[in-house]
A and B are shown apart, each in its own frame.
Chain A
């Protein structure tokens, strides 16, 4: 299996001015290492403030790392090359309803994504939109809908469509499954698993929901105050976690 994403010694520190000359610094993430192969799922768990979201932002290029490398298929990633690699890594936000523009029809929104990031002509774009909607179990006429006309589960599908329309290799889900109702969550989980099997998509799952992690993730990374405590195969970490904190986290979810 090819390595898709490799992260080496990633560090990020936020500085905050607390006086005229003094600065306070907050270490958001430090010395994070992991690799993610094609068609695999890596789950990142940890409490709030453990640097999960910062890590996701570093990966998609919203924030710039202080030191360390992000290698995508062996090539180092630079912020200036964002246009090149935004096809490969896509990001899904926590709340689908809030991350879609209420003024825009779904078709228009998907068209914008293609217009900005690809060289397809209008005819091809239309075809691509239709294919993507079908892939996610939505109908053609849904492209004429506004976001408020969808239910929660469908909105999550629309958000997925926006991410998948560029045929990415890696999808980052930032708590995207947490807010869903159980029966919808099962639907979306099935959809994600199916996509992974069909097209070899890799997922980076940022979540608090450890029971779900056990079911869908291949690897698990436990973050605590910016540094990685445990990293390895999910079943292995669940069975024998190295640190007290990760053990506590895992026990709270299982017992």
Chain B
């Protein structure tokens, strides 16, 4: 069953110079128990999409979509209170910088206990605070913090970034969500902790069936832990499908460049040889090219590329390009 089903999500920002379309008609769907990666460079709107799903975007952003279904309910058309209720019950999010997202003035125990919803505690009311504490300790153990006594009493600044991130995850899974959104969970971490964290997320996915939406700009780390992948460029969805098939045969030149620019995916590449790179840089939001936004940087752009390509489908593999990397006659 489709858990999340978004069609033509558009996020616009009102400015004195007119509307800026930061996210342009993006489709995204998630099945129950699926892990999906969302890859894109800075400014590609991946965090915006995540925030739009959780409904925490600033009022200045206009969110519209043809369909924004969560378990069959259209979230954008629900009254505000109900929308908050549904999201609060089912969706949890882990933010980019854990040590900054935690409250610096409160001890971890307080923050963690606050995140545990009352309906998950079973027992008479006089036992509630005891149960809550037990649950908090249990959560810490679940995310792999062994020394709970010391951690619960400390403040965020006393803990390392990795531990803070684990606490954020503990807070997120406290309510047993159906969907966990992890927004660049590993940028601030070291490579050993990174691997640990991905394994942790993978284990929740397998044990509890929690769907995970993993957002990152590093394709190589995400490819290992996800089943399906969506690639964004400048707010446009360029390719979506199963991770393995995208890595094996990308159709879009941007995905191709992303894969080729990572030495890890190129086992035959000699050390110290130049990497494949697209020329130019990411356009700023104020000066977006018309049509396909990759246009000015694309190695095989032609006249038709001034029109935005539609999302085409080939089995389970979606791409939006006028000139996909395999010729149409080969299909």
Query: Please, how many angstroms separate the alpha-carbon atoms of A182 and B195 in the complex?
Result: 19
Contact mask B34-49 → A, CB, 8 Å, 1/0? Answer: 0000000110000000
Are B271 and A151 touching (Cβ within 8 A)? no
**In the assembled complex, how far is the CB of residue B233 from the closest CB belonging to chain A, in whole angstroms?**
10
Q: Which 4 pairs across A and B sit closest by C-beta, in order of nearness?
A: A186-B261, A186-B277, A181-B41, A215-B263
Query: Please, how many angstroms separate the alpha-carbon atoms of A253 and B263 in the complex?
Result: 12
Are B219 and A182 touching (Cβ within 8 A)? yes
Residues of B within 8 A of A164 (CB): none
Q: Is the interface of B mostly helix, strand, loop or mixed?
A: loop
Q: 23 A-B residue contacts at CB 8 Å?
A: A47-B190, A48-B190, A151-B281, A152-B42, A152-B281, A153-B281, A154-B281, A181-B217, A182-B258, A182-B261, A183-B41, A183-B277, A186-B276, A189-B275, A190-B274, A193-B273, A214-B271, A215-B263, A215-B269, A216-B272, A234-B271, A249-B191, A252-B191
Query: Please, how many angstroms separate the alpha-carbon atoms of A180 and B278 in the complex?
Result: 14
Say yes or no: is A243 at the interface (Cβ < 8 Å to chain B): no
Say yes or no: is A129 at the interface (Cβ < 8 Å to chain B): no
Q: How many A-B residue pairs have CB under 8 A?
A: 78
Say yes or no: is B83 at the interface (Cβ < 8 Å to chain A): no
Size class of B's contact patch? 20 to 34
Say yes or no: is A112 at the interface (Cβ < 8 Å to chain B): no
Query: Please, how many angstroms separate the alpha-carbon atoms of A178 and B281 in the complex?
Result: 17
Are A182 and B41 touching (Cβ within 8 A)? yes
Contact mask A165-176 → B, CB, 8 Å, 1/0? Answer: 000000000000
Query: Please, how many angstroms separate the alpha-carbon atoms of A193 and B275 in the complex?
Result: 10
Query: Please, how many angstroms separate the alpha-carbon atoms of A74 and B199 in the complex?
Result: 48
Residues of A within 8 A of B257 (CB): 183
Are B191 and A187 touching (Cβ within 8 A)? no
Say yes or no: is B194 at the interface (Cβ < 8 Å to chain A): yes
Are A249 and B258 touching (Cβ within 8 A)? no
Say yes or no: is A212 at the interface (Cβ < 8 Å to chain B): yes
Say yes or no: is A241 at the interface (Cβ < 8 Å to chain B): no
Are B258 and A252 touching (Cβ within 8 A)? no
**In the assembled complex, how far is the CB of residue A50 from the closest CB belonging to chain B, in whole angstroms?**
9
